[in-house]
Amino acid sequence: MAIDVPFIATAQMRNVDRFMMGEFRISLLQMMECAWRPLACLARDRFLNGDCKGKRVAVLVGTGGNGGRGMVCAHNLHNWGATVELFGVLGTNDFDPVPAL
């Protein structure tokens, strides 16, 4: 039996982003930080036993949205006390616009 799972299409999500930026003045970077902080929490709790202080972390990032997610994760882990090194698959000029910021 098939289950209908509700979803938001890409064009609809872009409209949500525009609305959030225009109506509420929330930047795309702020939305990324909020959306992907749970990834950092998962990494901290699962791989660093809940404590980042004094730990070394390597984060591999691509150039698109997944790279942005990895950078948000790295940013949070750093803020929580980890020493973080980012490794990109391409040069910084190759990033999509938002991760490049």
- Is 75 part of any domain? yes
Reading the block at residue 19, the tokens are 């609305």
The structural domain count of the chain equals: 1
- Is 16 part of any domain? no
The answer to whether the predicted template modeling score (pTM) of the entire model surpasses 0.75 is: no
- Is 43 part of any domain? no
- Is 81 part of any domain? yes
The whole-chain average pLDDT of the chain stands at: 85
* More confident call, 21 vs 62: 21
Reading the block at residue 24, the tokens are 């509420």
Q: Is the pLDDT of residue 28 over 80?
A: yes
The model's confidence at residue 2, banded by pLDDT at 50, 70 and 90, is confident
- Is 66 part of any domain? yes
Q: What is the pLDDT of residue 93?
A: 59
Listed in order, strand segments (DSSP E) in the chain are 56-61, 83-88
Backbone φ and ψ for 89, nearest 5 degrees, come out as -75, -20
Say how far apart CA 36 and CA 23 lie, in whole Å: 22
